[in-house]
Structure 1
Amino acid sequence: RSLLEEGGQEGVGKLLHVESLLGSFNVELGYVQQENLELTQEANLVRKQINQKNEEVLRMQEKVASWEAEAEERRVKERQEEMERAAQRDAHWEGIVQAKDEALEQAERRLEAEEERHGEEMRGVAKQLEEAAQR
């Protein structure tokens, strides 16, 4: 009976030791789980910050794209305005040249008419001189 008691006590001792080890393991497991939770929370916070930064980058890219589009619109508008000004200058000078051409043509017609009239007067004078010389 004493062997049985000794064996039972030894078994109880081993069981208590196993329970102690199991308790220590559970405590360590609790620490690991707590650390895991903290690391997960920290990782989630870092992910959230990364997402926020990515959103900021996207917003900035959209702003830059918008600014570039506005700048291109301004450049196109400026080019169109310059082309319109050039066309107006061309039309202005073309109008001046056309007006001078017309004035020159009118002056040439007046000169021709004046020469014709002067020629007729000269022929009339010559005829009168001829008639006077015949008398």
Structure 2
Amino acid sequence: MLKLTYTERSFYLECLTLSLEEWVAQRAILALRVGQSFHIEPSTASFLLPADLPGIERLKAEVLLDDGGIIALSSGDADYTEVILRGSWLSDGLEEAVGVFVTAISDLTEFYVHKLWQEAQTCASVMSE
């Protein structure tokens, strides 16, 4: 399962071993116990990866094998590849810009997405120093 946590300034991507259903159930139980609002709806999320990132071609090959249409890639310009995911948006329902997006695709595709995102973060950190 991929989990994208959105904050006011950025997002963080994690690859979790729990199933989507288990994670959502745990999150719902937590919200119930602490008295927090809980809102869930079908949604999409997207983020950019550098088009010249080593391994991006392997991700493109994996996406072609995906039957479910949960993940798509778009080459909008020469510098970046957009990763588009279908899944569920979870929030407290009050501030829609802050929340968690979760989706489940094949383990191998999740691995490549997470690895490439981590590499992109490393590249961005090195460039900003």
Q: Same fold per TM (> 0.5)?
A: no
More strand by share: 2
Name the TM tier (shorter chain): under 0.3
Q: TM-score, normalised by structure 1?
A: 0.18
Greater helix fraction, Structure 1 or Structure 2: 1
Q: TM-score, normalised by structure 2?
A: 0.19
| Higher relative contact order, structure no. (Cα contacts within 8 Å, ≥ 6 residues apart) | 2
